[in-house]
Amino acid sequence: MSSSSSSKRKVLRIIKQDSESTPEVSAPAKSRRPVRGSHLPLRQRRALKGSDLPEPVEEPVARVDKAAGPAADQSRRRGRPKAGPQTHPPRSGQGARHEEGVERKLRSGRDAARRHPVRGDKEREQRRPQPARKAAAGPQHFFVAGPRGLEQELARELAELGTEAVEAGSGGVRFTGEIAQAWKINLWSRLAIRVLQQVAHGHYKNEDDLYRAARELPWPEWFPLGRTIAVTTVAHRCPLKSLNFASLKIKDAVCDRFRDLTGARPDVDARTPDVPILLYLTEDSYTLYLDLTGEPLNRRGYRVQAAKAPLNENLAAGMLRLAGWTPKMPLLDPMMGGGTILLEAVLMALNIAPGLRRHFAFENLNSFDRVEWARLRKNAQAEQKEKRALPIYGCDIDPRMVHATETNLRAAGLLECVTLREADALEVEAPARVGVIVSNPPYGVRLEHEDMAAFYQGLGDNLKRRFAGWNAYLLSADVELAKHIGLKASRRTPLFNGPLECRLYEYRIVSGQMRRPRAPA
Using a 10 angstrom Cβ sphere, with 0-12 exposed, 13-18 middle and 19 or more buried, the burial of residue 486 is buried
Gap between the Cα atoms of 27 and 19, Å rounded: 18
Gap between the Cα atoms of 125 and 482, Å rounded: 70
**pLDDT of residue 487 exceeding 70:** yes
Output the 3-class SS for 181-214: HHHHHHHHCCCCCEEEEEEEEEECCCHHHHHHHH
Gap between the Cα atoms of 441 and 455, Å rounded: 10
CA atoms within a 13 Å half-sphere pointing along the CA-CB vector of 124 = 6
Q: What is the pLDDT of residues 70-123, one digit of tens each?
A: 443 443 444 444 444 444 444 444 444 555 554 555 555 555 444 444 444 444
Residue 480: what pLDDT? 74
**pLDDT of residue 499 exceeding 70:** yes
* Bigger pLDDT: 38 vs 139: 139
Give the residue-averaged pLDDT of 489-506: 92
Mean pLDDT of the chain: 81
Q: Are strands 331-333 and 436-439 parallel, antiparallel or unpaired?
A: parallel
Gap between the Cα atoms of 69 and 340, Å rounded: 100
Residue 423: what pLDDT? 96
Residue 269: what pLDDT? 96
**pLDDT of residue 232 exceeding 80:** yes
Count other Cβ atoms within 10 Å, centred on residue 127: 14
Cα dihedral: 341, 346, 349, 353 (round 10): -100
Gap between the Cα atoms of 239 and 243, Å rounded: 10
Largest CA distance in the chain: 186
Residue 488 confidence class, pLDDT cut points 50, 70, 90:
very high
Percent of all residues in the chain with a pLDDT value above 90, rounded to a whole number: 62
* Bigger pLDDT: 347 vs 13: 347
Give the residue-averaged pLDDT of 131-153: 80
Gap between the Cα atoms of 432 and 26, Å rounded: 146
Gap between the Cα atoms of 202 and 284, Å rounded: 9
**pLDDT of residue 130 exceeding 50:** no
Q: What is the pLDDT of residues 362-386, one digit of tens each?
A: 999 999 999 999 999 999 999 999 9
Q: What is the pLDDT of residues 272-319, one digit of tens each?
A: 999 999 999 999 999 999 999 999 999 988 877 666 667 899 999 999
Residue 64: what pLDDT? 39
Q: What is the pLDDT of residues 239-267, one digit of tens each?
A: 999 999 999 999 999 999 999 999 999 99
Gap between the Cα atoms of 260 and 241, Å rounded: 29
Residue 452 confidence class, pLDDT cut points 50, 70, 90:
confident
Residue 103: what pLDDT? 53
**pLDDT of residue 54 exceeding 50:** no
Gap between the Cα atoms of 356 and 422, Å rounded: 31
**pLDDT of residue 178 exceeding 80:** yes
Residue 303: what pLDDT? 76
